[in-house]
Chains A and B, each alone.
Chain A
Amino acid sequence: MVRLITHNLLGCHVKNCNANNFPLEFKNARVELVEAEFNPDFLRNFLPKIEWKALVDTARQLGDTSLPVEQPEMVDDDFLKALHHVLLEVHVEEGAMVCPNCKHEYPISNGIPNMVRSYSFEGYNTDPLTIPTKLLAEHEIA
């Protein structure tokens, strides 16, 4: 169950992949629709924090065109219900997420995405003292 709410928060974290690494693109996605409880207050407050274009584009790739390209000025119940469905009821159960920049694939199995990056293979952990500075250079605090 990689839902689009989670997908909207994930980015690629391969070493030195720092630009154009969001959103990840679904590949061979097997989608299941699972009903979830509608909570308009949650959605209204979460709405400003969504990366809207990423959400709309990804939903369209998965075949759901119910969301407008621009966030509407008037947030009514119909819109919130469409948003609810896209964010919380569309589950990607199998497939992968691919970084648009470095093409790294994050596999999804039984609804769980594998975001593990092993530091051993990345060459980070030979000297643990170097970890923070190296990584900080890549991800500046906003």
Chain B
Amino acid sequence: MPPRALEAVRIESNEDPADFEAKNVHEIYDAIASHFSSTRYKPWPIIAKFLSDLPTGWVGFDSGTGNGKYLPLPADRPGAIWTIGMDRSRNLLDIARRAGEGKVVREVVWGNVLDNPWRPNAFDYAISIATIHHLATHERRKLAVQRLIQAVSADHGRVLIYVWAIEQDELSKRKVSVEDDPEANEKGKDVMVPWVLSKTLAKPSPETSQPEVYNRYYHMFAKGELAALASDAAKDLGLSVGSRESCSSTPGVEIVQEGWERSNYYVELRRWSK
């Protein structure tokens, strides 16, 4: 099947972005939860490595945990670190509770990534995988990054963020057209991504027949956009951006890696103080 061009979407200025996300993201995940979860089982290598490199005794949270597939990691040292999952979809959380092998129950919290329900700087690390691209404005995406930065230790906190990229690779089922949208290569592009619900996994609904296709809102990130967003988010919190050695004012955040992997952009941040 050739990749399918995604439909562009424009969020009207009079539209409440929270309502827009409720309708075009949260409700959709609640409806497609079990089918969605069945397609998300393989951890991305860079994320698995990030978790596997963390010291024993570290505690973190996964903002937008979905079906919780990262909660049981690292596979070779189960229980060495403790990741708490948070998601806005209650139906996905019921799945995330049982993520991984055996009868182990995971810790999950029902919350919005813009919420700040944590004791400040309580965590050693935070991950947010394929989540921030569901927020409908630049300011809200920035706030979501700030939530991650605020939740981790000012001395050693680590943050890993993944979002979908405009640049989809040859294995992707999707493509983002930018020819008619010159700004997209700089600012990213707002699109609707269809989800075709498998009938067998759909939640039975006796009264109404379930629609087959659900459209989820995504902001597809442009090259460099995620690192710039993270850097702005940190600066707005009054933090220096750069390495501990290179910055004169403390505390700060360093971007330790960024890149593109299989249709996603990622960035890893580390907090430091001196």
Of A37, A110, A113, A125, which contacts B18 at CB under 8 A?
A125
Q: 11 extra interchain contacts, Cβ-Cβ under 8 A, other than A9-B119, A11-B117, A49-B122?
A: A3-B107, A5-B107, A9-B122, A11-B119, A11-B120, A12-B117, A41-B80, A46-B58, A47-B57, A49-B124, A116-B88
Q: Is A132 in contact with B107, judged by CB distance below 8 angstroms? A: no
Q: Is A41 in contact with B110, judged by CB distance below 8 angstroms? A: no
Q: Interface residues of A, CB < 8 Å — how many?
A: 48
Q: Is A120 in contact with B16, judged by CB distance below 8 angstroms? A: yes
Q: Measured between C-beta atoms, what is the minimum distance from A46 to chain B in Å?
A: 5
Asked if B84 is at the interface (CB within 8 A of a chain A CB), the reply is yes
Q: Interface residues of B, CB < 8 Å — how many?
A: 56
Contacts of B139 in A (CB 8 A): 128-129, 131-132
Contacts of B137 in A (CB 8 A): 128
Per CB-CB distance, the 4 closest pairs between chain A and chain B, nearest first, are A45-B57, A115-B117, A115-B111, A128-B139
Stretch at the interface among B142-150, B158-166, B174-182, B203-211: B142-150
Q: Is A120 in contact with B82, judged by CB distance below 8 angstroms? A: no
Please give me the residue from chain A that is nearest to B142 by CB atom.
Answer: A132
Q: Is B107 in contact with A141, judged by CB distance below 8 angstroms? A: no
Interface residues of chain A, those whose CB is within 8 Å of chain B, are 1-3, 5-6, 8-13, 22, 34, 36-37, 39, 41-47, 49, 51, 91, 110-120, 125-126, 128-129, 131-132, 135-136, 139, 141-142
Q: Is B81 in contact with A42, judged by CB distance below 8 angstroms? A: yes
Contacts of A51 in B (CB 8 A): 119
Given A9-B118, A46-B82, A116-B110, check contact A132 B146 (CB 8 Å).
yes
Q: Measured between C-beta atoms, what is the minimum distance from B249 to chain A in Å?
A: 13
Q: Is B118 in contact with A11, judged by CB distance below 8 angstroms? A: yes
Contacts of B90 in A (CB 8 A): 112
Stretch at the interface among B27-35, B37-45, B212-220, B232-240: B232-240
Contact string, B44-59, partner A, CB cutoff 8 A, digits 1/0?
Answer: 0000000000011111
Of A22, A43, A125, which contacts B119 at CB under 8 A?
A22
Contacts of A135 in B (CB 8 A): 116, 143
Residue among B17, B84, B111, B123 facing the most chain A CB atoms (10 A cut-off) = B111
Contact string, B84-111, partner A, CB cutoff 8 A, digits 1/0?
Answer: 1010101001100100000011111111
Please give me the residue from chain B that is nearest to A119 by CB atom.
Answer: B18
Of A113, A120, A142, which contacts B121 at CB under 8 A?
A142
Q: Measured between C-beta atoms, what is the minimum distance from A91 to chain B in Å?
A: 7
Contacts of B112 in A (CB 8 A): 116-119
Contacts of B105 in A (CB 8 A): 1, 34, 91, 111
